Amino acid sequence: MMSWALLALGLVLVVEGLLWALAPHLVEELLAALRALTPEERRLAGLAALALGLALVWGARMAGAFSP
């Protein structure tokens, strides 16, 4: 279980690192756009991202990505 958590964290850091390395100006624009949102809108966006992430993990599991 811990190995899956480390794998997931590593993949998140790879994607985040690529974004910062390849498009730092875009990251600044995204952060400015987030500042313009209300806390409720940011919370809703976070919940939507959570739901999408869970759906992607469930879909990968159903496709056999986690089979031994």
What global pTM score does this model have?
0.73
Go through the chain and tell me how many residues it has.
68
Q: Where are the domains of the chain?
A: 24-68
DSSP 68: -
Mean pLDDT of 38-67: 92
Contacts of 66 (CB under 8 A, 6+ apart): 60
Q: What is the mean pLDDT of the chain?
A: 91
Does pLDDT of 68 surpass 70?
no
Positive or negative torsion for Cα 26, 27, 32, 34: positive
